Amino acid sequence: MIPATFPDRAEIARLSAAMLLDIKAVHFRPEDPYILASGLPSPTYIDCRKLISYPRIRSLLMDFMAATVLRDAGAEAFTNVAGGETAGIPFAALIAERLALPMTYVRKKPKGYGKDARIEGDMAETDRVLLVEDLTTDGGSKLSFVEAIRDTGATCAHTSVIFSYGIFPEITKTLGDAGVTLHHLCTWHDVMAVARTRADFDTKTLDAVDSFLADPRAWQAAHAKT
């Protein structure tokens, strides 16, 4: 069902952050930092994949995402919705259903046998593709998916995520230089604003996370393992 209402952007951010906290998708561990895929340490970790197990919250967030894309990009902006392997696939299916569009998915790399394809499903050269993923940090990982989509001849100028870290300013340039606009529901700043009003984490932990958010690169350098 195509959403017919467009909630206020700030309210979407607040509600999205609260729901991620509700399902315990948000994890803070400043004393024993997580190691990200980049190899860098972080006192924060978010697991958006958990959303697939919570149908009511999942449905609300997908409504928010569909409404955000329709509001920001336009009702006729896309002809295809592509999910990035693997976390983006279920969310792309849900968004495609809401926007009444065909769905495809993009492999991280060719599967190495058969057609050796990166795109699964039907994608035409004339398609205008919305890339859907669960989250983004600095935007770099999105570009490989965008490149694979464009290699088919289709266009891909927009990517939508549930969660954007919102602390790495280079993301605007990284995606912008590639001609890609990012749409997101909430960031770490939104999560922290809601977390400060709740009892999910103690003040010491939240203060430590805030120090990371204020200057993530300096925090990572100071906490990198040698």
Q: Is residue 226 in some structural domain? A: no
Instruction: Report whether 222 contacts 43 (CB < 8 A).
Output: no
Bond into 86 cis (ω within 30):
yes
* Amino acid occupying residue 197: T
Q: Select from 52, 50, 62 the least CA-distant residue to 23.
A: 50
Element (H, E) at 156: strand 155-164
Q: Is residue 107 in some structural domain? A: yes
| CATH code for the domain in which residue 184 is found | 3.40.50.2020
Q: Is residue 4 in some structural domain? A: no
Q: Work out the pLDDT band at 1, boundaries 50, 70, 90.
A: low
Q: Is residue 224 in some structural domain? A: no
* 157-190 residue pLDDT tens: 999 999 999 998 888 889 999 999 999 999 999 9
35 Cβ neighbours under 8 A, 6+ residues apart: 41, 42
Q: Is residue 221 in some structural domain? A: no
Between residues 196 and 138, the one the model is more confident about: 196
Q: Is residue 2 in some structural domain? A: no
* 209-226 residue pLDDT tens: 999 999 999 999 999 876
Q: Taking all residues of the chain, what is their mean pLDDT, rounded to a whole number? A: 93
Instruction: Please tell me the total count of domains within the chain.
Output: 1
Instruction: Report whether 73 contacts 131 (CB < 8 A).
Output: no
Domain that holds residue 165: 9-216
Report the 10 Å Cβ neighbour count for 36: 13
Query: What pLDDT is recorded for position 197?
Result: 97
Between residues 114 and 207, the one the model is more confident about: 207
Q: Is residue 160 in some structural domain? A: yes
